[in-house]
Chains A and B, each alone.
Chain A
Amino acid sequence: MSEPGLVLDGVSAAYRSSTVLHEVDLAVRRGELLVVLGPSGAGKSTVLRVVAGLEPVTTGRVLIAGRDVTGDRPGRRNVSMVFQSYALFPHLSVAENIAFGLEVRDTPRAVARERARVAAESVGCAALLDRRPGQLSGGERQRVALARALVREPDVFLLDEPLSNLDLALRVEMRAELRALHDRVGATVVHVTHDQTEALVLADRIAVLRDGRIEQVGTPDEIWRAPASSFVARFVGSPAMNLLPADGPVRPAGNPPPGAPVTETGRLDLGFRPEAVTVAGADAEGTPATVDRVDVVGEDAYAYLRLAGGEPVVARVPAARRPDRGAAVRIAVRWADVHVFHAGSGRRYSP
């Protein structure tokens, strides 16, 4: 890996007596936008706080731009952070908020204000410079927080769920702007979110975190197409991937992956996304199922099915040809669309 912007080397962290990060290894390339994705309580924010120096590590090292900063105080690490709450200073104007970091570092006032204006322009909030945080909308605050992070040209940007407080439309818009901004500035960014769509759209690479451990690091494509575990597979994608025992009722069509002992009892699970399921009438080939519920989302519909043994399966069907509730149907999947996981560990099966 060339030019590491940020490296976590076997980092553990604890809150009170419980360990929240377990020997995390993570490397972020310079100029890369890495998204840390995971459910609540997975330790995503702790990753950021450890990098920022707001939480101490119990073991391991943190390197920023090649420097070991493990023992440095936050202010010496040259990182910028956007908090979920934005953490704007309520008593300072927007301009003063943005210039704060420069002014406490003794940048001349005029210079600081000019750079604050430039930063504000780059995120489109130049018109707000004289307002106070109390007079801003959520989106405007978000821009100010971003401008404040941008103004100082840090080695790493840390974004802690910056979009989670925005409504959906604004979130989509800001998401695009964030990506564009990153492409323009080319900074090293670690972005934390629990929103898998946001992760897939924004990220150069995604690190999926579960219970303080890295589950998988990869490009959005890798995460989507080759989830390293059943956890990743089910966390990314909505509705979540179907997961059934390999010796269960569903027998995929076509050739199984080479060497997969698919019939061996309880050893493996099969995973397939809702869009991989074909639903046909009761007289067709396939596994019988009944329709519990159908959710229509515009052109698409998601059919929540139940197999004879009670196992739930979700299938995506065109809304125009959706089955009725209570109808008896047959479902089929192809081996090409199936992911195989070890049932016990959840790790991806590889021959």
Chain B
Amino acid sequence: MTRPDTRSRRQLALMLAPYLVGLVALVLLPAVVTLALAFTEYDLLRPPTWVGLDNFTALVDDPVFRVSLTNSLVFGLVAVPLRVLLALGLALLLHRRALGVGSARSAAVLPTAVPEIAYGLLWLWLLNPLYGPINQLLRTGGENGLTALGRTPPQWLTDPTDARAAIILMSLFTMGETFVVLLAARRALPRDVYEMAALEDATGWDVFRRITLPLMAPVLALLAVRDLIQSLHFSFVPAFVVTDGGPPPYATTYLSLFVYRNAFEYLRYGYAAAVTLVMILLTVAAVLVQWRLVRRYRAFYGV
């Protein structure tokens, strides 16, 4: 190895050091501690005691955990495609220069910038079954508190299905980051390919199906996986602030809320750590899928 090589390596290490220190101290160590606590009984108040796999056997038998896991997975599988589709639709709508496009883009990103809890409280008002603007709107034209179609408006906070829908609805509008990435991805697509398509008289749907979608597919897939991982976390605040995990018994209790309750309300920190470990495993699985996607993408395009 030559001298400048050593030097540039040393510089590189030096520049990486602050990040690495932060990573180890703030992420890796707590993660390892959590992993270890998953095999203990720990109530935050007394020292942890080793219980081996007891927490995990308890998890298997815990109906609330099963419900939370199912809720989290269903939320991810429904909310993530909808979020990505909404972001894609907006990105395709707003990628051109036109009057008002700038404001529209800002508006699309804005909900993402609202602090999460404030956003939750806002929706608590929006979703108020009797006085909230959403149901007021749905009731216009109807009589006796029914919609114009003669049906009862959704019971956002008291019906299990409607409440899950409400949480998904809430989550749709915070796809600002996904939108920004897709907007950039769309704008990075070569213009001449679209002109080519125009010359071949490909219409809007054909252009979308045969060109835009396949060209953006790799980005979409990566964003979807990322969103899926994120969905384990961003389901927390809505459930915590808006539905409190209900309607009863556990319609909107997601893994994150389950962890919070067990760790901080019921003081079962070890048990909560075991659930966290399950969440980490889910995340790892998603990341593996992401890797495979990237590898296939590379092989496909011969990059």
CB of A75 within 8 A of chain B? yes
| Number of A-B residue pairs having CB atoms within 8 Å of each other in the complex | 72
Contact with B along A53-91 (1 / 0, CB 8 A): 110000000000000000001111101110101010111
- Inter-chain contacts of A89 with B (CB < 8 A): 193, 196, 210-211, 215
Contact (Cβ within 8 A) A101 B200: yes
Contact (Cβ within 8 A) A134 B303: yes
The answer to whether A74 and B215 touch (CB under 8 A), given A100-B210, A134-B301, is no
In angstroms, Cα B190 to Cα A39, docked, is 25
CB of B45 within 8 A of chain A? no
Contact (Cβ within 8 A) B202 A80: no
CB of B93 within 8 A of chain A? no
Contact with A along B49-91 (1 / 0, CB 8 A): 0000000000000000000000000000000000000000000
Contact with B along A88-115 (1 / 0, CB 8 A): 0111100000001100110000000000
Residue in contact with A83 in the complex, picked from B192, B302, B303, CB distance below 8 Å: B192
- Inter-chain contacts of B196 with A (CB < 8 A): 81, 83, 87, 89
Q: From residue A15, how far is it (CB to closest CB) to chain B in Å?
A: 14
User: Which partner residue on chain A sits nearest B214 by CB separation?
Assistant: A91
Contact with B along A130-142 (1 / 0, CB 8 A): 0010110000000
User: Which partner residue on chain B sits nearest A154 by CB separation?
Assistant: B199
CB of B5 within 8 A of chain A? no
- Inter-chain contacts of A104 with B (CB < 8 A): 197, 200-203, 206, 210
In angstroms, Cα B190 to Cα A85, docked, is 10
- Inter-chain contacts of B303 with A (CB < 8 A): 134
User: Which partner residue on chain B sits nearest A79 by CB separation?
Assistant: B199
Contact (Cβ within 8 A) A73 B198: yes
Instruction: Provide the main secondary structure of the chain B interface.
Output: helix
CB of A228 within 8 A of chain B? no
- Inter-chain contacts of B202 with A (CB < 8 A): 75, 100, 104
- Inter-chain contacts of B301 with A (CB < 8 A): 90-91, 132, 134
- Inter-chain contacts of A152 with B (CB < 8 A): 200
- Sort chain B's interface into a size bin: 20 to 34
Q: From residue A262, how far is it (CB to closest CB) to chain B in Å?
A: 51
In angstroms, Cα B215 to Cα A115, docked, is 25
Beta-carbon contacts under 8 Å, A280-302 to B: none
CB of A52 within 8 A of chain B? yes
- Inter-chain contacts of B193 with A (CB < 8 A): 87, 89
- Sort chain A's interface into a size bin: 20 to 34
In angstroms, Cα B196 to Cα A101, docked, is 9
Q: From residue A152, how far is it (CB to closest CB) to chain B in Å?
A: 8
Contact (Cβ within 8 A) B215 A91: yes
Contact (Cβ within 8 A) B198 A83: no
CB of B159 within 8 A of chain A? no
Q: From residue B152, how far is it (CB to closest CB) to chain A in Å?
A: 47
Contact (Cβ within 8 A) B195 A87: yes
User: Which partner residue on chain A sits nearest B196 by CB separation?
Assistant: A87
User: Which partner residue on chain B sits nearest A102 by CB separation?
Assistant: B200
- Inter-chain contacts of B198 with A (CB < 8 A): 53-54, 73-75
- Inter-chain contacts of A73 with B (CB < 8 A): 198, 201
- Add 19 more A-B contacts to A85-B192, A90-B215, A100-B210 (CB < 8 A): A53-B199, A54-B199, A73-B198, A73-B201, A74-B198, A75-B199, A75-B201, A81-B196, A81-B199, A83-B196, A87-B193, A89-B196, A91-B301, A92-B214, A104-B200, A104-B203, A104-B206, A132-B302, A134-B301
What are the 4 tightest A-B residue pairs by CB atom distance, in nearest-first order?
A75-B201, A134-B302, A101-B200, A87-B192
Interface residues of B (CB under 8 A from A): 190, 192-193, 195-203, 206, 210-211, 214-215, 217, 300-303
A–B Cβ pairs within 8 angstroms, 30 of them: A52-B195, A52-B199, A53-B198, A54-B198, A73-B201, A74-B195, A74-B198, A74-B201, A80-B199, A81-B196, A83-B192, A87-B190, A87-B193, A87-B195, A89-B193, A89-B210, A89-B215, A91-B214, A91-B217, A92-B214, A100-B200, A100-B202, A100-B210, A101-B199, A104-B202, A104-B206, A104-B210, A105-B200, A134-B302, A152-B200
